[in-house]
């Protein structure tokens, strides 16, 4: 039995229980044979993963869900897949937890959040419903999960539809406890097709009062805002969101849709404002990050995780019956008015064997001649006069690779995918660059995992996230340049599977 090549609407919305065992067995076999399966990033068992959902701490464990379509690498009838962890690194697959099986989510369980309420976990999500003419209705829904992971959906919606003046592009609720009540933050589109973030309030998680749009910028937000998350860091308000169709005169970006943030001095609920906000910034400087979910954890940290993938784009694993993954978990901090994103401390639990690195940057050299797999952490400090390129996922003669070009003298760093063995979404450009301070050393912390690479620059002031699809022997790490020196560590990492 072959996998499906042409996905009709009928197939995408075929009921879960009607998919045959033979097809599912063949899909599992094909996915498991992929050379691009990951060792410590979250990936779908089969089919498509997209937005992270319900990231929280409950009953002594970290909980995470992702939006899931099990039967192919396409957007179809969505559910939520559940994972748990004790350390934010090793994730146990708990299975599908929210199914599209009710009147209000019959055509898809869409994205949302989670909040621990006493001995239960509230799951707030968007239900998608289509009528016979394929016209959409959207509902903001609630369900409670108990300590044994049993789900009880609420009989009526939290919010039964978009307010007047807004379209059914109304989704991705984040529910938070604020002072003595609850707030719900929702992405929306006006009937004039302008993106906004909406704010609701409730005392009891049942009756929700519409407060209005959240005011946090004078910039236009394109035609739709997805995945808004309001968090607080050092008493400052941070809003992370995905504005679709954002004018590139408002923010310079190259991805089909950006993942962005603003930092404000404070949050004023009465006036629905985030006060004294920064301009809109790109959250990630790479090619493939979207739909970040962040929350204030009980231990005081602000944590985030993101979808590594983008809407409407294709990737080589589409031919193998699976698509996309999630980023490693990051801790968010604010320093000198800038958002820093750093791997959580628990990420060190993956470290297995260390090799110290030291040398001058000249000509070309193989940093790790005996490296056999793209599963590692590479930390490099490049001196303030360094100029050159770092080549990752490289073949033996360094003709196919992912390149990171750096110039510490002029404060430039660029991620370059032009020489990948399998080119990716070339219509959106093959390079991404950021500007650094001149004549300053450059710190790099790089996580490679078979077909994904996350690069943290200068303690998380910038992050580049990218997919890359090498052959199994493309494990070279080369460094070439004209001036400067480097020190660092290379860590082989254990699998989290």
Just list the catalytic residues. 51
φ/ψ (deg, to 5) at 304: -145, 160
Coil/strand/helix, residue 26: helix
Tokens linked to 282: 């790109």
| Cα separations in angstroms, 450 against 65, 275, 350 | 23, 42, 15
CB atoms within 10 A of CB 309: 21
CA-to-CA distance for 320 and 34, rounded, in angstroms? 7
Are 55 and 86 spatial neighbours (Cβ–Cβ below 8 Å)?
A: no
247-259: string of b/e by CB count within 10 Å (b at 16+)? Answer: eeebbebbbebbb
Are 422 and 35 spatial neighbours (Cβ–Cβ below 8 Å)?
A: no
Are 329 and 305 spatial neighbours (Cβ–Cβ below 8 Å)?
A: yes
Which of 380, 374, 421, 423 has its CA nearest to residue 400? 421
Which of 91, 33, 30, 4 has its CA nearest to residue 325? 91
E-state strands within 3-157: 47-58, 61-69, 79-85, 91-98, 109-117, 120-130, 136-145, 151-153
CA-to-CA distance for 425 and 414, rounded, in angstroms? 18
> 333 pairs with which residues across the strands?
340
**Residue owning tokens 């000509």:** 363
């Amino acid at each position: 039995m072959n996998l499906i090549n042409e996905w009709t609407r009928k197939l995408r919305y075929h009921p879960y229980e009607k998919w045959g065992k033979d097809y599912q067995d063949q899909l599992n076999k094909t996915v498991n044979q992929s050379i691009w399966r990951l060792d410590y990033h979250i990936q779908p068992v089969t089919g498509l993963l997209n937005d992270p959902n319900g990231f929280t701490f409950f009953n002594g464990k970290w909980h995470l869900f992702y939006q899931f379509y099990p039967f192919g690498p396409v957007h179809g009838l969505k559910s939520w897949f559940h994972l748990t962890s004790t350390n934010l690194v090793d994730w146990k697959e708990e299975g599908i937890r929210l199914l599209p099986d009710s009147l209000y989510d019959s055509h898809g369980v869409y994205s949302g959040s989670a909040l621990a309420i006493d001995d239960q976990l509230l799951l707030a999500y968007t239900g998608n419903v289509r009528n016979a003419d394929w016209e959409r209705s959207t509902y903001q829904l609630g369900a409670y999960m108990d300590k044994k992971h049993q789900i009880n959906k609420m009989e009526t919606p939290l919010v039964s539809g978009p307010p007047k003046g807004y379209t059914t592009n109304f989704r991705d609720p984040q529910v938070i406890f604020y002072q003595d009540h609850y707030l719900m933050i929702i992405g929306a589109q006006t009937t004039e097709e302008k993106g906004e973030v909406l704010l609701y309030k409730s005392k009891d998680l049942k009756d929700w009062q519409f407060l209005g749009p959240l005011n946090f910028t004078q910039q236009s937000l394109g035609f739709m805002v997805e995945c808004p998350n309001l968090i607080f860091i050092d008493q400052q308000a941070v809003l992370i969101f995905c504005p679709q169709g954002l004018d590139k005169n408002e923010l310079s970006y190259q991805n089909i849709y950006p993942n962005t943030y603003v930092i404000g001095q404070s949050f004023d609920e009465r006036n629905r404002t985030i006060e004294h906000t920064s301009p809109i910034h790109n959250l990630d400087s790479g090619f493939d990050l979207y739909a970040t979910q962040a929350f204030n954890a009980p231990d005081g940290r602000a944590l985030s995780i993101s979808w590594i993938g983008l809407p409407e784009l294709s990737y080589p694993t589409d031919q193998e019956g699976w698509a996309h993954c999630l980023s490693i978990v990051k801790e968010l901090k604010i320093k000198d008015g800038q958002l820093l994103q750093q791997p959580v401390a628990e990420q060190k639990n993956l470290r297995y064997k260390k090799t110290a690195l030291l040398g001058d940057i000249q000509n070309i050299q193989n940093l790790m001649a005996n490296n056999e797999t793209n599963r590692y952490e590479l930390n490099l400090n490049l001196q303030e006069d360094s100029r050159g390129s770092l080549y990752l996922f490289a073949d033996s003669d360094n003709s196919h690779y992912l390149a990171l070009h750096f110039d510490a003298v002029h404060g430039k760093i660029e991620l370059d995918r032009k020489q990948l063995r399998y080119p990716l979404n070339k219509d959106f450009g093959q390079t991404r660059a950021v500007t650094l301070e001149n004549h300053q050393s450059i710190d790099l912390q790089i996580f490679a995992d078979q077909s994904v690479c996350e690069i943290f620059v200068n303690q998380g002031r910038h992050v580049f996230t990218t997919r890359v699809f090498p052959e199994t022997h493309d494990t070279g790490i080369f460094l070439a340049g004209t001036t400067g020196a480097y020190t660092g560590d290379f860590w082989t990492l254990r699998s989290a599977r």
